[in-house]
Amino acid sequence: MDFGFSQEQEELREHLRSHLSKVCPPEYAEACDRDGTPPREAYNALAEQGWLGIIVPKEYGGSEQNAIELAILLEEAGRHFEELGVWLFRTITYGGYAVMAHGTKAQKEYFLPKVAKGELSFCFGLTEPESGSDAAALKTRARPDGNENYILNGQKVFTSGMDISDYCLLVARTNDGEKKQQGITNFLVDTTLDGIDIRKIDTLGHRAIGTTQVFYEDVQVPATAVLGTVDEGWAAADAYLWYERLCLSAARTGAALAAFDCALEYAKSRNQFGRPIGKFQAISHKLADMKMMLDISRTMVYRFAWLVSEGRATREDAAVLKLYSSETYKAVSDMGLQIFGGYGYCMEYPMQRFFRDSRLSVIGAGTSEIQRNIIARSLGL
């Protein structure tokens, strides 16, 4: 087994790290969070260098890298600013991976070059007020109008980034079947269409991009907006969620590493009782635990990325990764804030942002409880 990166991958990481230090320094991330503004300048700077085309085939203008290189990109982006990594992953996953997997020739020719150039950004519309963890119970409807169009009606909630995206990969019901997973279809919806009402939700963390609720009232989309097969979209949406869990886990592991670095530096420089607080076992053991969890989390991220690149990943693998990396981010941020003490509770220090943002990791994109259910079912329980 090879646990190392190739020379090309190491060079990719170093180049990316150097570029991010210029376009997304700590004070920039802090300002985006404080002011509630998306990291558009950093996003565009990465797009200009072709990073959004990392998994896109070369014939469509991408660099055709595999899931390991993608994880490197998102870990480094998350280490500089989690919300930048999350914005990147949404476009790469829902505008790139999804279209590559299930798009028509015409859809690939239209969307993929624009994704690779950073000309289009994407979000994902799945969750509804009455279908969160029970995601397949969605009620948003898409009905054919008999004139090669579909009419959308319904409400989505927690469609993160809808207000800054050009397209939403929308999951809607087109039919009723014996099982709730039947009769579901995916659509690539232009977010500027008439009848779409986007409302921002005020949240504890992730303030730079945040999330929205979206109302669809008689929204007309062409039949060419269907991604994949009509009425058989649930399996595809589930596959996108596997990929999402790789991407989120990489970005959040990067953010957790940044939180750890912040806490470690503070423990070495903050003096109490005549010596650095890191010299006290109560602090040093916290940092040792954080280091252990982060090493495991990073190993799991790249193991899963390798499984994805080999076509061997399973739903259970995705659940294990998502569960552990999310709980690690939350725990590391919590312990980091404790190490900072009262200063960790002050808004002028970055630890409070890690603490706020990390809380979403065990809720969004599948709660920790749901991940445990998936794992338990894989054990025959």
Residues classed as catalytic = 244
CB neighbours of residue 192 within 10 Å = 8
* Sequence-separated (6 or more) residues with CB below 8 Å from residue 295: none
Backbone torsions φ then ψ of 201, nearest 5 degrees: -105, 130
Say if residues 53 and 111 touch (Cβ distance below 8 Å). Answer: no
CB neighbours of residue 4 within 10 Å = 7
Partners of 151 in the β-ladder: 143, 220
Say if residues 186 and 223 touch (Cβ distance below 8 Å). Answer: no
- Sequence length of the chain is 381
Give CA 44 to chain center in angstroms: 18
Query: Which pairing describes strands 167-173 and 122-125: parallel, antiparallel, or unpaired?
Result: parallel
Angle between helices 7-23 and 67-80 (to 10 degrees): 30
The DSSP string of 211-264 is EEEEEEEEEEEEGGGEES-TTB-HHHHHHHHHHHHHHHHHHHHHHHHHHHHHHH
Six-digit token pair at 227?
């991604």
CB neighbours of residue 223 within 10 Å = 13
* Sequence-separated (6 or more) residues with CB below 8 Å from residue 181: 136, 234, 235
Partners of 172 in the β-ladder: 185
